[in-house]
Structure 1
């Protein structure tokens, strides 16, 4: 393998008749090299002259297969240039065909058996046949769309094929310039390249933007190779019936050689180029050597001994779990043979008569062992692998039509019914976070009793009453009125909301011993004083200065006030589980839970539960979408839609696409929406119109009442398959019950 680096990117290359020279061309390069054993030697530089213009820039080049001194190039300005290497002058341009194409030319090719016949294909949809003897256009063919590639059939003198931008392949006869001989749709999108097989007369290979390489036999598609990128060029490998080489238009910079019988892995790969490959050409007398040009300004000669074998690095085992819990396991036969010991009798057999298979034969001889396992006799295991919960959730989840609270509650109950309690809790948490309203806490009984003098603070139980009566007997008569005075007079008032803020749970007092005594001051209660009306509530800490913090208050004073409150509550019979403490005016910042919800959705998606992530995004909408990555949203929606498609839940998948609100996901409903019907008489696809066949000129979809083609809504009977215009069929069946064609079927309009 050797290569050479040129001055600029290369667009094409071509070999001469005996494969001893190669010509490469680009925007700023047009040179001829001789092919040596270890290097390329430059022979001619065609980009010379006084006035170098666009005629010296080529998008394609062809070498005459009969006269070795003639070249043809397709200029980027729409001209076709013929070059004669035998010219004595410095410039080798023989003739320039100007104004034959209105747009740039994509392909030029010489006839296989006629040296004076040159064919060109342009983006304007025309193919021109040049007669070099007259230096003029002899025939013109109109393909009705941009022509990407053309090739003469080496087995048929008058036949050539054209690859069009609309995905069709046209087979032309040079003797008939008015219409193609045959046309068929090969790809979903533009066809970039085609190539006739050198040995099989009916085989033609096509490649396009849909990342497919298809082998047609002019009757049907027999083999299809799926690649990872749009295919730009393809070439059959000489002396190998099933091998074809390809290069990509974008992304993939390697040249792959495929065996069409094993389409999922390349037979060989060549990864020397650093940019997109633009041309491939094989040595006709040597199937192990080919040449390639690239946009990285390099020309390579590849040897098959330098190729990488992707199949050798592939994983020899595979495992998959079906949607119903079945497990499939596949392993290579080589792996099985290496783990299975051979018998002694087999090892003693002589290997004299055994032929070592070639690499291509070994590549096709590879087989694998496939086993399928089903889980039985374990209801719990089957339930774990079964996807019934996914199907039911997809069908019964509510995503719109109700309030968010109702939707979350419905989905939570549905998850609970399937024993998916974590998912149910998730829906309820979303309801609480986004729909929960902050309700004001109910007033405490202490505050109610203090603010309402007519209401008793507590109700004494029988035991408490007995204990109080015993205490009263021992007490003096003048102290028996203390409780009565507190009970009937309200000497403590609090501002609105102060009681709620000053609730204090006395956890520290619960650990006190029952026998602990309280030390009271000399006077159990402070003397009564006049309460002045003020706008600010009485706050035990209000005496602090503005610059002081609550922690700077005298601790002894605060403790004494707390002891007074405890003593007051003990005398008045108030339960000590709730005490009043000085309110601390703490302003807590709001809780930003959006980050937590985002992490939760990402966690579900990473675990494989894209259903929960997608449905939550749809329900939350703009509350969560701005905080998620657009790429992640697209991936989750695509994965969920793919799962729905596997379960054949097409209607639900369409609803998810419609409610996604993502442009890339919403565009799925706009792709592949055209379905071409076929002629009922000749079975030809109806590409131009749906009511007239271009081949047999027969009218299709004729109304059974007016006998005219139906170009709008077509109503038909499922019993006899006759129909017509919607309003004609409706009016007919209002009067008659039988089919208007006279077939005798009793039709019904519903």
Structure 2
């Protein structure tokens, strides 16, 4: 009895190993190694080197090796040159090679001896055929055609004398009867990719285990129609599997790439391995169970041979986190935790105990601790989301379904999407859509370089007309003429009060020119002056409304500081979109006066009248100046007379849009990022790098797939201008079909058989040619009109052609 793990270093990487009937010897075969070792208590002892002789050809390069289960002196190997070679280790000669079968045209993947008959050998090859050899006749007695590209593994059933299983490159599994070479008994698609290995259960007659490239191990129930009984998800492609002896629910596996570990699984707990052996430093190529279930032998590409003792295995379940938390896409929260409580170094469990503890002691069966998972009792709690806006994803689903990303004008798309966001109570998203509409729809023909400039003079005039009407309405509410006159001349009176110098006033009632007139000093003017002030007020309103003046008064917008206008120069010829047909003439008065305005004589001069407390010093105004864009110095008084319309600097807002997209991406809302990119289209091309866009598209499509929004995902893919995204819906669309007459795979032309020279598209029910949708069974390759097949399978479980296959419509 071996009590500890043993290691043996080989001459080269090994591809397979096999153990004899008594588990006392093991053979290791590879490209450059072919040896037999005795299994001793403490070590491996080399007994025989089969790679000897004068001609070391490719017959010694082994892809697989198997030991005869009845006669210990017979071995068989699968050579990489297509030969099947048998070896007799009892031969007295130095070379132990017995027979060589050159029936296969390509490399042989697997060989298998019959479980009872020692002279029957089965092989599966890369040429898509299986051959059964009779060692007594020294020839291949029968050939089985899989109609596949290659056969990866073959295994005789230990419960049925004539049955064997074969797994293929196209993902199918076939069950054959040795007595019938023209047709298989059963065929079903087991995996989404190539199937690399299979193994019959040693005790359960109806179980067959398969493993493939899709990283799954599946246990099939073959009692009736093949059905998956258990499924184990691994982290890499499954290369080999073996049921553990004396343990009904345990199966071991090794991977084809990436994972170097040999895992032992309990199919009742398929998510975590029961035990793991990770001594190998490269991919494990083969393993075999000792006749005792606690010992397993393995070999690898790292040129080592190991004997593992089960008690030394790693237990991944012991290191698993006992607490789990998950949030569904709809906001539901599930929480699971172990009920185990640790007190004073002792563990106890809350809740109900196992039913076995209620039995008397002499009836209880205590399995070995190494064969069981760590005992654990856990509780799970599920918290349903009752409309929590933070966790609910209803907004995402509704937005994906209701957003319109193409087919309308840009303004309509933005407005529609904004209304959708408003209905879903996402105001910040709705406002973003409206801002995009305002930004890009205002300058539709500027291409990618959008910028905002100065509004037109016509828009300013319209704005001032509205302001003047409001001013007139406010003045009409005043009860005195004095207050009405003073309301529009406050700034002018401040300058005229206490001044002995002549002041210049803007005139030109027609709005077509600018004239300056000097008047004599009117010092001593009081608030009762009507004639000159009314005239000045009239001219000021008219000039400002026509855009030819900018006197700071009631119509000046801002905080009263003229410094804000520094550096803004824009003549009327530079202002965009001036409507020449617009009427610039305004009435002389904003309101009808209560009495005719008469030309009154000027009041007496008040040379020494004190200035108003609120008046400005004219000397201060004259000395106050500002510097323009070109370095010119401007007087405030000159600024009041300039016929120029102030302009705002150009604003290129694309960088702001880029920051906005990155903000939504940082918040996890890739839906908004992708939707904005699709709606903007060519307007925003080149501002976000393609790698970032590709990440956003992939994330959004993945989330749509989680919510099963396949149509929306396909729409997003089709609208994308990124080649790596737009090609997603053009992948994995190849369908391999078989001829219903000869069952050969039609590869060159999908609906024409090169062998039969016919188009096998006749309906199995009405026997007419199918034009249009054609439905067929993947098991027997028979089919027909979609409606006819549906009607047939509603009342009959078998194929309408009478082939005996149990078809299924999905």
- State the secondary structure of the residue aligned to 2:31: coil
1:320 aligns with 2:380: no
CA offset digits 1:340-381 (Å, max 9, x no partner): 7799xxxxx9998777554377539655333333456xxxx6
Q: Offset of 1:382 from its aligned partner? A: 3.1
Contact 1:634 1:662 survives alignment (8 Å): no
Distance 1:27 1:297 in 2: 11
1:101 aligns with 104
In the alignment, the residues of structure 1 paired with residue 559 and residue 493 of structure 2 have an alpha-carbon distance, to the nearest angstrom, of 30
With 163-172 and 433-442 compared, the bigger mean Cα shift is at 433-442
Match in the other structure for 1:566: 636
> Per the alignment, do residues 108 and 508 of structure 1 end up closer, same or farther by CA in structure 2, a change over 3 Å counting?
same
CA contact (8 A) 1:654 1:669 kept: no
Tell whether the 8 Å contact from 2:457 to 2:645 is kept in structure 1 after alignment: no
3-state secondary structure, aligned to 1:653? helix
Distance in 2 between residues matched to 1:108 and 1:16, nearest whole Å: 15
State yes or no: 1:442 paired with 2:449: no
Which blocks of at least 5 consecutive residues in structure 2 are unaligned? 353-357, 444-450, 462-470, 476-483, 518-548, 551-556, 565-612, 752-759, 776-783, 789-810
Residue of structure 2 equivalent to 1:292: 298
Structure 1 residues 177 and 485, CA, compared in 2 at 3 Å: closer, same or farther?
A: closer
Deviations 1:571-604 (Å, cap 9, x if unpaired)? Answer: x6x99xx9999x9xx9999975575356335313
Q: Where in structure 2 are the equivalents of 1:363-378 lying within 5 Å? A: 363=373, 366-374=376-384
CA distance 1:331–1:60, shift in 2 (3 Å): same
SS at match of 1:389: helix
- How far 1:625 moved relative to its partner? 6.2
1:611 equivalent to 2:618? Answer no
Partner of 2:426: 420
1:203, 1:216 within 8 Å by CA — same for their partners in 2? yes
Where 2:192 maps in the other structure, the secondary structure is coil
CA shift, 1:331, in A, is 2.8
Q: Deviations over 1:584-633 (max 9, x none)?
A: xx99999755753563353133xxx3322333343355546644347724
Q: 2:506, 2:167 → 1: CA distance?
A: 108
The change in CA–CA distance for 1:506 and 1:215 in structure 2 (over 3 A counts) is same
What do you get for the CA RMSD once the two structures are aligned? 4.9
Q: Report the CA distance between 1:172 and its aligned residue.
A: 1.9
Candidates 38, 53, 59, aligned match of 1:55: 59
- Show CA shifts across 1:707-732 (max 9, x none): 636453489xxxxxxxx98999xxxx
1:239 to 228, 238, 246: 246
| Deviation at residue 687 of structure 1 after TM alignment | 10
Deviations 1:382-423 (A, max 9, x none): 344333212221111111112445423432332123221232
CA distance change for structure 1 residues 168 and 588 in 2, over 3 Å: closer, same or farther?
closer
SS of the equivalent of 2:193 reads coil
Change (3 A) 1:415 1:686: farther
* Cα displacement string for residues 500-557 of structure 1 (whole angstroms, at most 9, x for unaligned residues): 9xx99985969xx966635369x999xxxxxxxxxxxxx9787xxxxxxx6xxxxxxx
* Residue of 58, 68, 80 corresponding to 1:76: 80
Aligned counterpart, 1:651: 711
Aligned to 2:272: 265
Say if 1:465 and 1:629 are closer, same or farther in 2 by CA, change over 3 A. closer
1:152 aligns with 2:156: yes
**Contact residue 245 and residue 255 of structure 1 kept, 8 A:** yes
Q: Distance in 2 between matches of 1:675 and 1:136?
A: 34
- In structure 2, distance between residues paired with 1:24 and 1:440: 82
- Which residue does the alignment assign to 1:29? 33
Whether contact under 8 Å (2:670, 2:696) holds in the other structure is no
Determine which structure has greater relative contact order: mean sequence separation of CA pairs < 8 Å that are 6+ residues apart, divided by chain length: 2
Identify the residue that residue 113 of structure 1 maps to in structure 2.
116
Q: Is the 8 A contact 2:131 2:140 kept in 1?
A: yes
In the alignment, is residue 462 of structure 1 matched against residue 462 of structure 2? no
Change (3 A) 1:412 1:490: same
- 2:539 is aligned to none
Q: Check 1:83–1:541 CA distance in 2 against 1; reply closer, same or farther (3 A cut).
A: closer
1:640, distance to aligned residue in structure 2 (A) = 1.9
User: Offset of 1:59 from its aligned partner?
Assistant: 0.8
* Structure 2 CA distance for partners of 1:307 and 1:425, relative to 1, 3 Å: farther
Alignment-derived partner of residue 702 in structure 2: 639
Alignment of 1:579-618 (within 5 A): 592=655, 596=659, 599-605=662-668, 609-618=669-678
Question: Counterparts of 1:489 and 1:203 in 2: how far apart (Å)?
Answer: 104
Give the whole-Å Cα distance in 1 for the aligned partners of 2:192 and 2:12. Answer: 33
Task: Give the structure-1-normalised TM-score.
Answer: 0.71
Deviation at 1:481, TM superposition (A): 7.6
